Amino acid sequence: MLKAREKSLLSFFPEKSRSHEQVGAKEMPLYFIVLLVGLILLSLGLLNLYSATGGSALFYAQLKHAMIGIIAMIFIGFFISQQYLNMAVMPFFVLNLLLLGLVLVAGDSAGGAQRWIALGPIRMQPSELTKICALLLVAKYLNDHRSSKAYAIGDLLPLIGGMFLLFSLIFMQPDLGTAGVMFLIGAFQMTFIKFDKKSLLKWGVVGFGFAAFSWFFLLRPYQKMRIFNLFNPHIDPSGLGYNAKQSLITIGSGGLFGKGYLEGTQTHLMFLPARQTDFIFSVYAEEHGFLMGVLLIFLYFALIYCALEISKKAKSFFACLTAIGIAGYFLLSFGINIAMVLGLFPIVGVPLPFFSHGGTSLIVSFIAIGLLISVNRDSRDRRIHSVYLRS
């Protein structure tokens, strides 16, 4: 049960006519819905990837990683309590730092980036794990540094330092997309926290200053070109502009009802680039059409909604913030990917959860589902009133 000083950081949702205790016995546990939606997304994603790859080895590798991810989800969701998870955050943080450092020293390179590492028979992308590490780090820090007053910017400096360390190691690979999503997940969690208004202004000034510094001193020419291409696709018609145009053509060719499974011409005639990763949604939209595309987006929003509902019923401050972080993970991952393929966001290589090819990304998505299951299962033992974190 949340203590009084924890509740001082929270703002209450309107109370329902019946308490959670009254309806709990009649309600289906939210984690059942989360599990069902996750498995539906996985099934759709595997079918879509089979079409995008023509049933190549990439598909069977994804199938293998799906099995690993499901095992990880079951273990975390049904055998790991929030208490033990809280204790494991700092060791997990140190492990992430070591793996990211190892990538820079002895990682495998592909496509101009050094993001992967082979540990015996296992080849993984540690930067994907930092998305989970970051949200757990934020949840633990805010849980361990609770206060009866609103947070000031100085209260969060150690947390910002830890997040910046993870960001820097990923940025050096280079992988701006993953680094940015990781940082935004933490920012998403903190938007639910009460902040001192003067600190918010300082945050804005610091953020603007860092953005300006990054533009002139950190971003590489091809990264700047991605931003320019967002506003003018004709600036690089044979490169990033080509990718964005082909994505829109592919989505548009699907029409309202799609061309049919395995019948996507833009996909199978190889006009669509990165069809198994960045533009996997375009494959789905071409074959299944606008209506099924909307349904897919609805499934992601259902997952996010359930995550936020689980956060409201969490029995601890740490668990509440963890569930909010998972909501942010799915919202940012699917939102940025969909925006990329629609030409509304620079192409930064953010995978679509359960759809894009990538073993580590798929396993991380299942870990996120497992964390939601763990939070919800714990909360059904001792419930709290519906709460949120920001007024």
Distance CA(284)–CA(250), nearest Å, equals 9
8 A C-beta contact, residue 354 and residue 362: yes
Amino acid 368 reads A
Q: What is the pLDDT of residues 66-113, one digit of tens each?
A: 999 999 999 999 999 999 999 999 999 999 999 999 999 887 777 667
Helix 126-144 and helix 157-171: axis angle, to 10°?
180
8 A C-beta contact, residue 376 and residue 326: no
Q: How confident is the model at residue 18 (pLDDT cuts 50, 70, 90)?
A: very low
Residue 388, beta-bridge partner list: 11
| Whether the predicted model's global pTM rises above the 0.85 cut | yes
127 Cβ contact partners less than 8 Å away, ≥ 6 residues apart: 100, 103, 115, 170, 173, 175, 178, 179, 182
The pLDDT value recorded for residue 235 is: 66
**Composition of the chain by helix, strand, coil, percent to 5:** 70, 5, 25
146 Cβ contact partners less than 8 Å away, ≥ 6 residues apart: 5, 6, 9, 317
The mean pLDDT of 361-388, rounded to a whole number, is: 79
Q: What is the pLDDT of residues 56-69, one digit of tens each?
A: 899 999 999 999 99
Query: Which of 375, 5, 9, 8 has its CA nearest to residue 190?
Result: 9
CA dihedral sign, ordered 360, 366, 372, 378: negative
Tokens representing 341?
A: 């393929």
Distance CA(41)–CA(293), nearest Å, equals 12
